[in-house]
Structure 1
Amino acid sequence: MKALITGVAGFVGHTLARRLLSEGHEVVGIDAITDYYDVSIKRANLASIPADGFRFVEADLNDADLGSLLDGVQWIFHQAGQPGVRKSWGSDFGIYTLANINATQRLLEAARNTPSLERFVYASSSSVYGNAERYPTEETDRPQPMSPYGVSKLAAEHLCTLYAENFGVPTVSLRYFTVYGPGQRTDMAFTRFLRAIVTGDKITIYGTGEQIRDFTFVHDVVDANVRAAAIDSTPGSVFNVAGGTSISVNGVLDILREICAEPVNVEYREPVAGDVFRTGGSTDRITETLRWAPQFTLEEGLRAQYEWARKTFAPA
């Protein structure tokens, strides 16, 4: 298969590229290499992707020649987007509309004119649920995002459904629940925690630490993407991708104390607008349709991420 991965220099994107290449697929990757976090990390992610069978294009989806980029492509994995709940308020919201909504609509327009296309897999987010109606949250529960970021991800997801219903674009939306693992973005919680531990700094927690999250290991998320592309489902389908490990942030800190055997110094600050108290997704639908289930426990994933953090952040 020939696959296009948007956001290929990112956390999930480069991990997915390595998986596809290892299975003999051809991969075209596109990434704008924005400076939302350290660009050197993105460059290192790209360098880790085997060259054989891989072509990289540095460009913004809003400007790129998508027709030539999609020539002969059978699978699209749309991982690109502007992340971050905290920065999505105020004047920065325009960045989110461009990167998450406009770019997705432009890619969908190109996809509907790509005769070779078999599947369009969109990386959505559990942020679309906000403070959900119930837990574990099902895909049919009412979305009620609590942040502009969540609104932008939901809008793009609705676009995927609309293009499926109106033009037959074979879209699948995957709602990721807090992805973690080696190579995680530097602004995300586990990387911040582990970096602080290996450098002897304080861990900053926004809120009481009693907020609950459903964490999903990156290789499980990649596996969900591959299954979503390879296994038939109704165009416009939406699936939760959740690790089934709902635990409080303070509970995570307890696990890290056991894994790291190093001091864990914590300071608590005021909660951030838009952060929800709890997430937790039902995976019944994705298990039934795509035969997917998480394979990594939270402790296994944290141990792997800790070893990565030691190599990445430990003082020389």
Structure 2
Amino acid sequence: MTRVLVTGSSGFIGHHVVTRLQSDGLDVTGLDRRTGHNSGDFIHKDLLDLREDFHLHHRLKSFTHVIHLAAEAYVPTSVTHPDRYVQNNVIGTTNLIEVLAAAPHITRFLLVSSCEVYGTTSVPVDESASPRPASPYAASKLSQEAFCQAAAQCWGLPLVTARLFNNYGPGQQPDRLIPALMRACTEGTEFSMTSDGSQTRDWVHVRDTADALARLLFADDVEGGIYNVCAENEVSVHEICRLVFSHVEKPPKVVRASAIEGHLRRSAGIGRKLREATGWSPAGSLDGHLKEAFTY
């Protein structure tokens, strides 16, 4: 019987992943240190407290498929508090894989990593590029990858790695770019733009990301691979502002703020490998999804 564990299930992406898998009729259990809001089974646990919980070890070993999303995931905080990222992202991951490496039924461990590991390389970037992490967050995600790759070599962990590019959509944290822009529009407040607005990102709707992860979880001939989850649409902050403002009668005032340490100037991916392996492609357009968001 297929039994799926999703760590970080209470987070922005995790919630959508659980919903996507449940829509396929799968037996899904979420695990998070925060309380969950999906229906279905839920384990309220911090991965840092996993090592001595032998009862939970037994339960975790019953899962056949795992999506590991649980992580601290904000570049500015990693610059000021790097220790949190070592603890939660690196130690939390090693605690999990130590338990799962001995699991008799596990057939897929999908590590959700980040495009941030590529750092200041030229764009668009494919999976063959050498990582050059530019922030403690990026370094912690690359460390996750390294420990999971070691577990695959030493213990036979059936590893697949997904490197996510920038997500947006329902339920995103309110301090992220698109929710902050939309809040400024609806509340009539100023919007603070970091740097000059020319920095770019590859924007993927969270439901598309959830679909990509669901496909990778069960795809054939992907074990050991690394896959970019990107829409191949490098868009600047200026252009995001223009698209958002096009859906309101009175755009907010934009004020300049200083650049954020650790943030990349450009980020965009090549997604050919994922498309060829799973048939995945993003549904809809960035502007279409923004229009939908304002409708609701």
The interval holding the TM-score normalised by the smaller chain is over 0.9
Whether the aligned pair in 2 keeps the contact of 1:224 and 1:292 (CA below 8 Å) is yes
Aligned length: 291
Identity, % of aligned positions: 31
Return the letter of the residue paired with 2:82. Answer: F
2:95 corresponds, among 106, 115, 130, to 106
Residue 81 of structure 1 corresponds to which residue in structure 2?
71
* TM-score, scaled relative to structure 2: 0.94
Matched-pair contact (CA < 8 Å) for 1:11–1:183: yes
Corresponding residue to 1:140 among 125, 128, 140: 128
Question: Does structure 2 conserve the Cα–Cα contact (< 8 Å) formed by 1:245 and 1:297?
Answer: no
| 2:281 is equivalent to residue 303 of structure 1 | no
In structure 1, the residue matched to 2:47 is 61
Q: Does 1:247 align with 2:248?
A: no
Q: CA deviation at 1:11?
A: 0.6
Residue 131 (structure 1) shift: 1.4
Structure 1 length normalisation: TM-score?
0.88
Q: Deviations over 1:158-211 (max 9, x none)?
A: 212221222221111111111101111223111111112111111111100011
Output the CA distance in 2 between the equivalents of 1:69 and 1:185: 31
1:207-286 matched pairs, under 5 angstroms:
207-286=195-274
Q: Are 2:203 and 1:202 equivalent residues in the alignment?
A: no
Unaligned runs of 5+ residues in structure 2 are none
Shift of 1:234: 4.2
The equivalences for 1:120-159 within 5 A come to 120-132=109-121, 134-159=122-147
When residues 171 and 305 of structure 1 are mapped into structure 2, their CA distance, relative to the original with a 3 A threshold, is: farther
C-alpha distance 135-76 of structure 1, shift in aligned 2 (>3 A): same
CA-atom RMSD in angstroms: 1.5
CA distance in 1, matches of 2:279, 2:194: 36
Q: Give the one of 14, 39, 60 matched to 1:70.
A: 60
Following the alignment from structure 1 to structure 2, what is the Cα–Cα distance between the partners of residues 222 and 78? Answer: 13
Q: Deviations over 1:101-132 (max 9, x none)?
A: 01111111111111111111111111101111
* CA distance in structure 2 between the partners assigned to 1:197 and 1:69 by the alignment: 47
Instruction: Show structure 1 runs of 4+ deviating over 6 A.
Output: none
| Matched letter for residue 15 of structure 1 | H
Alignment deviations for residues 250-282 of structure 1 (CA, whole Å, 9 cap, x no partner)? 001111111233323211111011111000100
